[in-house]
Amino acid sequence: MKKSSEILVLDASIAAKWYVKEDYSLKAREYLLQIQENPQRFFAPELFYIEMLSVLSKYTSTASELANKVNLLHELGINRSAHSAELISEASSLCLTYKLSAYDATYAALAKLCHGTWITADEKAHKKIKQLNISRCLY
C-alpha cells in the first residue's frame, strides 16, 4: 500500500471482500482498517452503496439486516461523491476510450477528478487503464 495521505477511491469489489471470504479478503480488510483510522482520504461514488446492496443481498436473509449492513458502510465516514455532470462526463470518456463498464468508469473518473487512486479487485478493468496511473489492483 502507498503513502497514508494518498486519496483512494474505494471500489465495491474491495468492500465485498470484507463480508465474503474470498482470495485476498485479508488484504482487502487492510483497507477497512485504514478507513477506520483515516476515513477522510477515502472516496466512493454513490454507486458504491447500490453495488454493495446488490452484493450483500446475496448473503443476507432479511431486509432489516441488509439495510443495517449498508448503513454500517455509511457510518465509516467515506467521502461520498454525487454523480455530477463532471463525473458523468469523465466516466463517459473513460468508458468509451478504454472499453470500461459504466460502473468501473465511474470509479476511475472519480479517481481522476480527485487526483487519487481507484483501488479495485477487478484486474481486467485495472489493466485497461493502467497507463493512466489512476488505479491499483488488489492482486
Q: What is the pLDDT of residues 11-69, one digit of tens each?
A: 999 999 999 988 899 999 999 999 999 999 999 999 999 999 999 999 999 999 999 99
Whether 2 shows a pLDDT value over 80: the answer reads: no
Q: Which has the closest alpha carbon to 50: 116, 98, 102, 100?
A: 102
Q: Where are the domains of the chain?
A: 8-137
3-state secondary structure at position 119? strand
pTM: 0.94
Please tell us whether the domain made up of 8-137 is placed in CATH 2.40.160.210.
no
